[in-house]
Structure formats: structure tokens, C-alpha cells
């Protein structure tokens, strides 16, 4: 089995674990962090043998490789890398900021907490292309219109960045990934660059850009998971610079740019040219499922109106679910380095303290009734200002919030029945 296969299987198992955990809170699918392309073990060994004499500064061709999104969740946003060719030495290497080592200690914990170290790796062009040929994903090459000095500067930076003490970095989905690293080289290291016009419409947010790929890839449950786990920071409007956290927008930015008043792109071609895969969107599937779930629960409440024990059992389950989800959101906010998970307004309906309330619901507590009254007010305000808060809420959550509003009202207005009387 190749390292690439191990990568897919391991990451798939990890997503499945998270899905199983979050399914208790209505089928979440977490993708706070996306992992980009992987290289084969031979590429790592080859990279270790690359020396100053193996890649010379001239004559060089430096190009940007942009890989189309794949069918799997981890590849939904595409990938990007830098290709450096030397026609005299007949070398052809790809510098890839989207790799990491599975054998690093506490891999899953680091991944979850946003402390996983990604790294710059080097592979041959053929090895890099292998995955995209197998998975049938398009690859576009943009040859950059650079002077010899600029090519030397890029190659020197990449070689220095590949040193063991420099190659590792802490991945962040929005602000520090394979695309932003290359963006900083092409628009920071290379001077006198300018993007002409806008590569995204005004008021486009991180969430809008993410939605485009998830809708296109037919991943409505991933979309719901992102909308719950990621906070208001992804609703910030992007500009040309921040939009280039996605490979396609980095490619678009380079295509619209000039360097020293010359077009940044010398030529462009499709190395692998395949039609974009069309996936059934199922855009409203989560809304339908959550609505059916809500109606079923309301039906049970109605049929069991003369059976208070059933009401308390269902209420306690709802409190456990929202409480556990709230604890998860708090952990992602304060216990991880994921910037996108901070300032999460979903905590207005996923209350961590509900987990405690669920255990006391059978006992007569005045403070508990006051607590439910407070939650009733908060939930009513949330529904009233649903489209006016700084964070966008997934429409699939709306039926569930209405259900919680009804139950909070019932719990706040009735006397808690003693367990002994049930």
C-alpha cells in the first residue's frame, strides 16, 4: 500500500470517527481542517537527495500547478504547488506545502486541536502527477513570467525553506495552508506584483467561497458540519489576498496580475484536462432530514401528552445532545488553535450547561425552571434575529431551534415532576 493510499484511508477513518461523534448532534460532518495532496515514500527519499548541484538557478522555468477538486472530502477544495524545471540538468521538481507525516506523536489529537505540523516536500513532477492521473483530476500549469533574478529568488527561498529546521509549519485552513504559502511567495517575495481588478465580488465571505465548493461537490452534510463547528470569523468578507487561500483563486489572482507591469502568466495549459465531475447536490437534504426528525419528535410529544415520563425522557435526550454539542463547540473555540472555530454563535442554541440540566430534569428545582425561562428568551431572540446576527446559520438548524423553543417553554411553565412519582 502506498503512502497516498494510507493517507486516504487514515483520513477517511478520522472523518468517520468525527461523523459518528457528531451524528449524536444531528449528523455533523467536520471539516475544520482540510488536508491537501500527499506524495509517495520515494518522493521523500528523493527529496532528501536534492542538493544545490541537482537544481541550478538557470535556465529555469517556474510555474504554478493548480489541481481541481476531487470527489473525497479532503480534496474538495483542490490543491496547488510550484513546479521548477531546469532544461540543462533535465530536472523537474515539484515543491508541495500540503504534506505531513502520519508517524508524528499524537497525530489525531494534534489534527483535532489544530497543532498538526504540515511540511514542504519535494517530489519529481511524475510522482506528483501520479495521484491526479489515478483520481482523474484536472491539473493546470501557469508558467510564470519571471526574470532570472526572480526565479533565483524563488528557488533560493524554496531550498532554504526545505531545510529541516524550516520546512514545518502549523496548518490553518484559512490563513496558513498550501495555497497561502505559495501566495506569499508569488506576491510577497516577488516584488512589483499587482492584481488588476477583483478576483471575487464585493462582500464575498470565506463561507461563501467554501459553500461554492461544497455545493458543487454535493456535500450538504459537510456544509452543515462546517456551519455548526466554524464560527463568525468565516463570515468576514475576503479581499484579493485572503481569497487566495483557495487554489483556484490563487490561480485566478496570478492570471489577473502583472509583475513589473508585465503579465504574470507567460503561458497556460491543461496538463490533465477532464470535465468537472457533476455530483448531485442534495442541497436541502439536511433541512428535510432535520424537519422530519423534528416533526417525529413533536408527534411523540403530542401522543404522549398524558405520559409525562415520555416527555421527560425526550427532553433529557434533547438536553444531552445540545449540551454535548455545546461542549464540543467550546472545546473547538478555546481548546484548539483553529481560528475559524472561534466566536461561534451556535452556542446560543447548543448550550453546554444543558448537559447538566438533563440530569436534574427529574428533580424539582426552581433554578432549573428559571434556567429554562432564560433559554426560552435566548432562543426566541435567536429566531427573531436569525438573519441579522454576524454569523450565518444553516437553514437546517431552524426546525430544531423551533422545537427547542417549544420545549423550553414547556419546561419553564410546568412543575418538574419528582422522579418518585413517575
CB of 190 closer than 8 Å to CB of 158? no
Residue 94 dihedral angles phi and psi, to the nearest 5° = -120, 130
CB within 8 A of 272, min separation 6: which ones? 129, 132, 133, 136, 137, 138, 139
The continuous run of DSSP H or E covering 84 comes out as: strand 79-86
Identify the pLDDT of residue 54. 46
The continuous run of DSSP H or E covering 234 comes out as: none
Residue 227, classed as helix, strand or coil, is helix
Instruction: Give the span between the Cα atoms of 199 and 184, in whole angstroms.
Output: 17
Could you tell me where the beta strands, DSSP code E, fall in 145-242? 168-170, 193-195
Identify the pLDDT of residue 26. 30
Give me the residue label for grid cell 479532503.
74
Q: How far is CA 102 from CA 32, 41, 111, 133, 355, in A?
A: 18, 12, 10, 24, 35
Domain ranges of the chain: 31-200+239-272, 285-421
Identify the pLDDT of residue 415. 66
Q: What is the pLDDT of residues 348-397, one digit of tens each?
A: 999 999 999 999 988 878 899 999 999 999 999 999 999 999 999 999 99
Residue 80 dihedral angles phi and psi, to the nearest 5° = -145, 155
Identify the pLDDT of residue 17. 39
Identify the pLDDT of residue 305. 83
Instruction: Give the span between the Cα atoms of 55 and 50, in whole angstroms.
Output: 7
Number of residues that make up the chain: 422
Residue 390, classed as helix, strand or coil, is coil
CB of 95 closer than 8 Å to CB of 167? no
Residues of the chain with pLDDT under 50: 1-51, 53-57, 416-417, 419-422
CB of 397 closer than 8 Å to CB of 226? no
Does residue 59 have a cis peptide bond before it, meaning omega lies within 30 degrees of 0?
A: yes
Residue 372, classed as helix, strand or coil, is helix
CB of 11 closer than 8 Å to CB of 37? no
CATH topology classification for 31-200+239-272: endopeptidase fold (from Nostoc punctiforme) (3.90.1720)
Q: What single string gives the DSSP state of each residue in 189-224?
A: IS-SEEE-S-SS-TT-BHHHHHHHHHHHTT-HHHHH
CB within 8 A of 363, min separation 6: which ones? 416, 418, 419
Q: Taking the mean position of all CA atoms in its chain, how far away is CA 151?
A: 32
Instruction: Give the span between the Cα atoms of 302 and 349, in whole angstroms.
Output: 23
* End-to-end Cα distance, the chain: 58
Instruction: Give the span between the Cα atoms of 159 and 306, in whole angstroms.
Output: 74
Give me the residue label for grid cell 415532576.
417
Residue 83 dihedral angles phi and psi, to the nearest 5° = -105, 135
User: What dihedral do alpha carbons 205, 207, 347, 376 form, nearest 10°?
Assistant: 80
CA torsion sign for 206, 208, 213, 219 is positive
Q: Taking the mean position of all CA atoms in its chain, how far away is CA 111?
A: 12
Rg of the Cα atoms in the chain = 25
Amino acid at each position: 500500500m502506498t503512502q497516498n493510499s494510507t493517507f486516504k484511508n487514515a483520513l477517511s477513518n478520522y472523518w468517520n470517527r468525527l461523523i459518528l461523534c457528531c451524528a449524536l448532534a444531528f449528523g455533523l460532518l467536520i471539516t475544520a481542517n482540510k488536508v491537501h495532496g500527499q506524495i509517495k515514500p520515494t518522493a521523500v527519499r528523493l527529496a532528501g537527495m536534492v542538493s544545490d548541484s541537482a537544481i541550478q538557478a538557470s535556465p529555469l522555468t517556474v510555474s504554478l500547478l493548480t489541481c481541481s477538486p476531487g470527489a473525497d472530502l479532503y480534496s474538495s477544495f483542490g490543491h496547488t504547488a510550484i513546479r521548477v524545471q531546469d532544461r540543462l540538468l533535465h530536472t523537474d521538481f515539484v515543491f508541495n506545502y500540503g504534506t505531513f507525516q502520519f508517524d508524528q506523536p499524537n497525530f489525531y489529537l494534534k489534527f483535532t486541536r489544530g497543532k498538526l505540523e504540515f511540511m514542504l516536500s519535494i517530489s519529481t513532477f511524475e510522482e506528483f502527477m501520479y495521484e491526479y492521473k489515478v483520481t482523474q483530476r484536472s491539473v493546470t500549469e501557469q508558467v510564470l513570467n519571471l526574470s532570472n533574478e526572480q526565479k533565483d529568488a524563488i528557488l533560493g527561498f524554496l531550498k532554504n525553506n526545505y531545510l529541516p529546521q524550516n520546512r514545518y509549519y502549523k496548518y490553518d485552513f484559512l490563513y496558513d495552508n498550501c495555497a497561502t504559502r505559495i501566495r506569499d511567495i508569488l506576491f510577497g517575495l516577488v516584488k512589483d506584483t499587482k492584481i488588476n481588478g477583483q478576483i471575487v465580488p464585493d462582500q464575498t465571505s470565506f463561507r461563501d467561497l467554501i459553500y461554492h465548493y461544497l455545493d458543487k461537490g454535493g456535500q450538504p452534510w459537510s456544509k452543515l458540519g462546517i456551519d455548526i463547528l466554524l464560527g463568525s470569523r468565516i463570515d468576514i468578507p475576503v479581499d484579493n489576498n485572503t481569497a487566495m487561500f483557495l487554489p483556484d483563486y490563487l490561480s485566478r489572482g496570478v492570471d489577473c496580475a502583472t509583475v513589473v507591469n508585465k503579465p504574470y502568466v507567460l503561458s497556460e495549459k491543461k496538463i490533465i484536462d477532464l470535465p468537472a465531475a457533476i455530483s448531485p447536490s442534495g442541497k436541502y437534504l439536511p433541512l428535510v432530514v432535520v424537519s422530519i426528525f423534528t416533526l417525529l419528535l413533536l408527534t411523540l410529544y403530542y401522543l404522549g401528552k398524558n405520559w409525562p415520563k415520555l416527555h421527560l425522557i425526550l427532553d433529557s435526550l434533547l438536553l444531552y445532545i445540545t449540551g454535548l454539542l455545546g461542549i464540543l463547540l467550546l472545546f473547538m473555540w478555546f481548546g484548539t488553535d483553529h481560528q475559524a472555530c472561534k466566536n461561534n454563535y451556535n452556542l446560543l442554541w447548543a448550550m453546554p450547561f444543558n448537559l447538566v440540566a438533563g440530569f436534574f430534569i427529574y428533580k424539582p428545582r426552581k433554578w432549573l425552571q428559571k434556567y429554562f425561562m432564560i433559554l426560552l428568551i435566548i432562543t426566541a431572540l435567536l429566531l427573531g434575529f436569525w438573519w441579522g446576527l454576524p454569523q450565518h446559520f444553516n437553514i437546517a438548524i431552524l426546525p430544531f431551534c423551533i422545537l427547542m423553543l417549544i420545549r423550553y417553554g414547556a419546561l419553564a411553565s410546568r412543575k418538574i415532576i419528582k422522579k418518585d412519582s413517575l
